[in-house]
Chains A and B, each alone.
Chain A
Amino acid sequence: MDAHVAPSSSSSSATSAGAHGSLSGAAERLERPPRRQQAHQRNYGSNGNQEQMNNADQADGAVLAVPSVVIRESASRPSRLSAGGGGGASDGESGQPAEEEQGLKYGAQHVIKLFVPVSLCMLVVVATINSISFYNSTDVYLLYTPFHELSPEPSIKFWNALGNSLILMSVVVVMTILLIVLYKKRCYRVIHGWLILSSFMLLFIFSYLYLEELLRAYNIPMDYPTAVLIMWNFGVAGMIAIHWQGPLRLQQGYLIFVAALMALVFIKYLPEWTAWAVLAAISVWDLIAVLSPRGPLRILVETAQERNEQIFPALIYSSTVIYTYMGTHYAPEQPQSQSQSESESQPQAQPLSTATSSPSNSNSTATTRTTHNSLASPELPTCSSNCRPSTARTSTSRVNQRQQDNQAAAEGMPLVTFKTNLHGHEEAAGFTQEWSANLNNRVARRQIEVQSTQSGNPRRANEYRTVPAPEQQQPEPQEERGIKLGLGDFIFYSVLVGKASTYGDWTTTIACFVAILIGLCLTLLLLAIWRKALPALPISITFGLIFCFATNFLVKPFMESLSAKQVFI
Chain B
Amino acid sequence: MTLPEFFGCTLIAFGTPFALFVFTIANDSLRIIILIAAAFFWLLSLLLSSMLWFAIVPLRDVLAFGVVFSVLFQEGFRYIIYRILRSTEHALHAVAEDTRITENKHILAYVSGLGFGIISGLFALVNVLADMTGPGTMGLKGGSEMFFVTSAVQVLSIVLLHTFWSVIFFNAFDTNNYLHIFYVVGSHLFVSLLTLLNADGLYWASLVPNYVVTILTGVLAFKVAGGTSNSFKRFLMCR
Contact = CB atoms under 8 A, between A and B. Distances in A.
A220 interface: no
A559 B158 contact: no
Q: Which bracket fits the contact residues of A?
A: 35 or more
B70 A109 contact: no
Contact of A507 (B37, B74, B127, B196): B127
A563 B138 CA distance: 14
Interface string B154-178: 1100100000000000000000000
B182 to A, nearest CB: 19
Nearest to B28: A108
Contacts of A507: 122-123, 126-127
Interface in B38-96: 39-40, 43, 46-47, 49-51, 53-54, 60, 63, 66-67, 70-71, 74, 91, 94-96
A107 interface: yes
A568 B195 contact: yes
Given A554-B47, A554-B51, A562-B124, A569 B67 contact: yes
Interface string A349-373: 0000000000000000000000000
A518 B115 CA distance: 13
B151 A569 contact: no
Contacts of A563: 124-125, 127-128, 151
B9 interface: no
Interface string A55-79: 0000000000000000001000000
A558 B54 contact: yes
B40 A518 contact: yes
Given A514-B36, A550-B47, A569 B70 contact: yes
Interface in B114-160: 119-120, 122-130, 147, 150-151, 154-155, 158
A560 interface: yes
A112 interface: yes
A551 B67 CA distance: 17
Interface in A531-569: 547, 550-551, 554-555, 557-563, 565-569
A14 B78 CA distance: 39
Interface stretch (A97-105, A286-294, A400-408): A97-105
A104 B40 contact: no
Contacts of B30: 108
A108 B95 contact: yes
Contacts of A73: 97
B29 interface: yes
A517 B115 CA distance: 14
Nearest to B158: A568
Nearest to A558: B50
A529 B72 CA distance: 35
A510 B123 contact: yes
B198 interface: yes
B199 interface: yes
A505 interface: yes
Nearest to A94: B94
B3 interface: no
A561 B70 CA distance: 14
Contacts of A375: none
A506 interface: yes
A530 interface: no
B199 A565 contact: yes
Nearest to B124: A568
A521 B95 contact: no
B155 A108 contact: no
Contact of A505 (B43, B96, B97, B127): B127
A115 interface: yes
Interface-centre pick from A105, A558, A559, A565 (highest chain B CB count, 10 A): A558
Contact of B154 (A551, A565, A568): A568
B127 A555 contact: no
A563 B196 CA distance: 11
B126 A566 contact: no
Contact of B155 (A506, A515, A550, A568): A568
A111 interface: yes
Given A105-B97, A559-B50, 12 more contacts: A97-B94, A111-B29, A111-B33, A506-B127, A517-B36, A518-B36, A554-B51, A558-B50, A563-B124, A563-B151, A566-B151, A568-B191
27 contacts: A100-B94, A105-B96, A108-B97, A111-B33, A506-B129, A506-B130, A507-B122, A507-B127, A510-B122, A515-B43, A518-B37, A521-B37, A554-B47, A554-B54, A555-B50, A563-B125, A563-B128, A565-B196, A566-B147, A566-B154, A566-B198, A566-B199, A567-B198, A568-B158, A568-B192, A569-B49, A569-B67
Interface of A: 73, 94, 97, 100-101, 104-105, 107-109, 111-112, 115, 505-507, 510-511, 514-515, 517-518, 521, 547, 550-551, 554-555, 557-563, 565-569
Closest 5 CB pairs of A and B: A566-B198, A101-B94, A506-B126, A558-B50, A112-B29
